[in-house]
Amino acid sequence: MIEVTDLHKSFGQLEVLRGINLSVPANQTVCLLGSSGSGKSTLLRCLNLLEMPTSGRIIIAGRNITERAASMTDVCRNVGMVFQQFNLFPHLNVLRNITLAPLKTGLLQRPEANDRAMELLRTVGLQDKAQSYPSQLSGGQKQRVAIARALAMQPKVMLFDEPTSALDPEMVGEVLAVMRKLAHNMTIMAVTHEMGFARDVADRILFMDRGVIAEDAPPSEFFTNPKTDRARQFLTTIR
């Protein structure tokens, strides 16, 4: 589903990604771990071109998105993203937050878009909040709406960029529960600091260090027997 070849990304003189090679099959759940500044978020943001790679190739669902001809709409048809800060549209109610993109990009007509939005709201347990505005929701509810909004574009891949980092501890569970529901039913790449989630739900851990993938292993192996010193150090600091 995702093929990344020799991906580099620099911000001025600073090279943040230094040759990423990666292949993720369909319906796999991958957690990206690593210390701050290791390039996890940048890698994720390259996968939907929020950051333009300096060089390298990214193929998602058979489409080379790094080609010049790739349009953002095409890219985003296949890739949904959930942000740390939710980024809901504050002037639109929950229903319109979810239906805006499918309607304006021509993916769905109004009745189907509304039906699909209500179905997604049921999936994330917020069907009674369709008419609420983001300012009337808790952090956890906002993030669940953000997940529903991304899913409304019917993506094949979902990217989660630290989806629980901005939440109060008691709200983390409800967001992780939704992510668990999605896991193994679609391709997921998640940058997270929730080690429990990574251990229990992920099929695969990518440990990033200074712009490269330092370890690529199943969670059972990564958490019990990390191969690199950096990973061992990382696991010690987060425990």
Partner 1 sequence: MPQDYLHHLGTVMPALLKGAWIAVYVVVAAEAIGISFGLLIALARLSKSRWLTWPALAYVDLIRGTPMLVQILFLYFGVPSLVSTVTGNPWNISPILAGILALGFNSAAYVSEVFRTAIGSIDKGQYEASRALGLTRFQTFRYVVLPQAFRWAIPPLGNEFITLLKDTSLLSVIGVAEILKEGQLYAARTYAIFPTYVGIAIVYIILTLSIANVLRFVERKLKVPA
Q: Which is nearer to partner 1, 104 or 181 (CB)?
A: 104
Residues 130 and 95 sit within 8 Å (Cβ to Cβ):
yes
- Which residues does residue 14 pair with via DSSP β-bridges, in sequence order? 11
User: From the list 22, 61, 70, 100, which residue makes contact with partner 1 (rule: CB under 8 A)?
Assistant: 100
User: From the list 12, 14, 68, 135, which residue makes contact with partner 1 (rule: CB under 8 A)?
Assistant: 135
Minimum distance from residue 232 beta carbon to partner 1 (Å):
34
Under the binding rule (CB under 8 A), the answer on residue 129 touching partner 1 is: no
Under the binding rule (CB under 8 A), the answer on residue 50 touching partner 1 is: yes
Stretch that binds partner 1, among 32-40, 101-109, 171-179, 212-220 (CB under 8 A): 101-109
Under the binding rule (CB under 8 A), the answer on residue 83 touching partner 1 is: yes
Under the binding rule (CB under 8 A), the answer on residue 75 touching partner 1 is: yes
Under the binding rule (CB under 8 A), the answer on residue 186 touching partner 1 is: no
Residues 141 and 126 sit within 8 Å (Cβ to Cβ):
yes
- Which residues does residue 17 pair with via DSSP β-bridges, in sequence order? 9
Distance CA 158, CA 32 (A): 13
Under the binding rule (CB under 8 A), the answer on residue 65 touching partner 1 is: no
Q: What is the per-residue burial (b if ≥16 Cβ within 10 Å, else e) of 24-59?
A: beeebbbbbbbeeebbbbbbbbbbbbbbebeebebb
Under the binding rule (CB under 8 A), the answer on residue 160 touching partner 1 is: no
Quick one: 229 exposed, middle or buried, by C-beta within 10 A (0-12, 13-18, 19+)?
exposed
Minimum distance from residue 85 beta carbon to partner 1 (Å):
5
Minimum distance from residue 89 beta carbon to partner 1 (Å):
6
In the block, which residue shows the tokens 């990009």?
A: 105
DSSP E strand stretches across the chain:
2-11, 14-24, 29-33, 55-60, 63-64, 79-82, 157-161, 187-191, 204-209, 212-217
Under the binding rule (CB under 8 A), the answer on residue 148 touching partner 1 is: no
Number of residues that bind partner 1 (CB under 8 A): 28
User: From the list 65, 81, 126, 148, which residue makes contact with partner 1 (rule: CB under 8 A)?
Assistant: 81
Under the binding rule (CB under 8 A), the answer on residue 80 touching partner 1 is: yes
Measured torsion, CA atoms of residues 85, 191, 68, 210, in degrees rounded to the nearest 10: 120
Quick one: 239 exposed, middle or buried, by C-beta within 10 A (0-12, 13-18, 19+)?
exposed
Residue 51, token pair as written in the block: 């950051």
Minimum distance from residue 65 beta carbon to partner 1 (Å):
12
Under the binding rule (CB under 8 A), the answer on residue 1 touching partner 1 is: no
Q: Would you tell me which residues interact with partner 1 (CB under 8 A)?
A: 48, 50, 72-73, 75-77, 79-81, 83, 85, 87-91, 100-101, 104-105, 133, 135-136, 146, 149-150, 153
